[in-house]
Structure 1
Amino acid sequence: MTGLTSHWTFRWTLRLLVVLGLLGSAWVHWVVWRDWARFDDVVGPLFVVNYVAGPVIALAVLGWHSHWLPEAAAVGFGAATLGGYLLSLTVGFFGIREQFRTEEEVWGVVTEAGCVVLGAVLLLLRWREARPQRHREGRPDARQARERRRWQHQERGQGQEQRQERGQGQGQAA
């Protein structure tokens, strides 16, 4: 397996794991919504948003892999959902207090943490791949920069010599 093939395989493995995290989180929210959240006026609709948004973002992560936005959306989805759950464990979330006792809660934390961590790794890989290209295109290498400075210095020196010659020539004529 070549380096390019292994890099491609690694990225697609990460991408598929992020998709599984998004779909797993959506499934957890569907199950919990059917269990009790549909009876809550505030948290119920938020669970609906999560079990609809999870598959939509998953499709974007699979289909729009040339852009960073789906990966950032996966990180944001996981962070927001995990943050809401952590609030419900500590201070409460719109009157809901969780206690981390059910399998759904465990799977929710695992899938959402996977979205955050693996999505962040995909974003980091994308950033690292883009960075050298910007460096090569936007900034000259050190040798080119030295040559350009030497050339500019030589031109400045010639310009000063010409001005001095003109000044000396004018001084003699006056």
Structure 2
Amino acid sequence: MARLWRVVAAVGVLVSAAVHLVLWVDGYRDIAVVGPLFLLNGVGGAVLAVLLVLWRHWLPLVGGIGFGAATLLAFVASTTVGFFGVTSAQAGPNEWIAAVSEVLAVVASTAALLREQSR
């Protein structure tokens, strides 16, 4: 069951990473600070997704929790108080897909971590 949770976590991280890469290509790359962060999120998320599936260690699971939580927190900040000078008045489908996948990454990574630590 822990293996399944790892795969679900990897899917959540990968979907979020893909959305951030799409948004980066669609123009976020031109925004100071936020543009490079979107690229880093996309590339880092892809690497983390692979590690979640291939490396049976607790570290990628903690990474999945941190990735999902930090990315979700940045999204909430950008739609409320602003994030590095960027305030998004409304969230579209891409943003909601990413947010749901980030919650999924946190929940699945936590479930896998708890399952593996209980052995």
2:38 match: 47
For 2:12, which of 14, 21, 38 is the aligned residue? Answer: 21
1:70 Cα deviation from its structure 2 partner: 0.6
Q: What TM-score does the superposition give when structure 1 sets the normalisation length?
A: 0.66
1:109 match: 99
Which structure has the highest helix share of the two?
1
For 1:95, which of 61, 65, 85 is the aligned residue? Answer: 85
Q: Is the 8 A contact 1:100 1:106 kept in 2?
A: no
The answer as to 2:69 corresponding to 1:84 is: no
2:115 match: 125
Separation in 2 of the partners of 1:50 and 1:17? 18
Separation in 2 of the partners of 1:78 and 1:36? 23
Separation in 1 of the partners of 2:90 and 2:75? 10
Give runs of ≥4 in structure 1 deviating > 3 Å: none
Q: What TM-score does the superposition give when structure 2 sets the normalisation length?
A: 0.94
Q: CA RMSD in A?
A: 1.1
1:11 Cα deviation from its structure 2 partner: 1.9
The total of aligned residue pairs comes to 119
- Which of these two proteins has the greater Rg computed from alpha carbons? 1
1:36 Cα deviation from its structure 2 partner: 2.2
- Larger relative CO (CA 8 A, sep 6+): 1 or 2? 2
Q: Which structure 1 segments of 5+ residues have no match?
A: 1-9, 130-174
